[in-house]
Amino acid sequence: MIAKLTGTARNKALSEIKGWSKVRGRDAIEKTYRFKDFNEAFGWMTRVALAADKADHHPEWANVYNRVEVVLTTHDAGGVSERDIALAKLMDKWAGKAGK
Ligand code: HBI
């Protein structure tokens, strides 16, 4: 059972990821990525999806053409955990400048 992040650990973790904001009304974080086109967006989603599934930690996300809206939270923990921070970092790394 994974614990959700709280207090200074949560603040520290959130400070390490750029462009992510807190979701109103639930313990989750969100970010919108904008890629060059659908091919770039969906290619990225495919790569992230396979890594996420391997880690058994899945994003909530929606895609419209070049835009991908992502929400991360850990259902098992009832909030944001280290798993979300790790996935956010991977998403940012693989998004390159689309993640700025
Ligand atoms: N994905 N985001 C997220 N949060 C979870 O708690 C989670 C998940 N994927 C699979 C998973 N939990 C499993 O541990 C079981 O809940 C099926």
In-domain check, residue 10: no
Strand, coil or helix: 96: helix
What count of residues does the chain have?
A: 100
Instruction: Tell me, in angstroms, the distance from the centre of ligand 1 to residue 66's CA.
Output: 27
Instruction: Tell me, in angstroms, the distance from the centre of ligand 1 to residue 75's CA.
Output: 6
CATH number at residue 87: 3.30.1360.20
In-domain check, residue 18: no
- CA 59 to CA 75: how far, in whole Å? 11
Question: What is the pTM (predicted TM-score) of this model?
Answer: 0.95
Quick: pLDDT tens for 61-72.
999 999 999 999
Quick: pLDDT tens for 1-14.
899 999 999 999 99
Query: What's the domain range around 87?
Result: 28-99
In-domain check, residue 49: yes
Atom of ligand 1 lying closest to residue 73 CA: 2
In-domain check, residue 73: yes
Whether 56 is in the pocket of ligand 1, judged by its Cβ within 6 Å, is: yes
In-domain check, residue 87: yes
Question: How many Cβ atoms from other residues are within 10 Å of residue 65's Cβ?
Answer: 11
Phi then psi for 94, rounded to 5 degrees?
-80, -20
- CA 72 to CA 52: how far, in whole Å? 11
- CA 37 to CA 18: how far, in whole Å? 22
In-domain check, residue 12: no
In-domain check, residue 59: yes
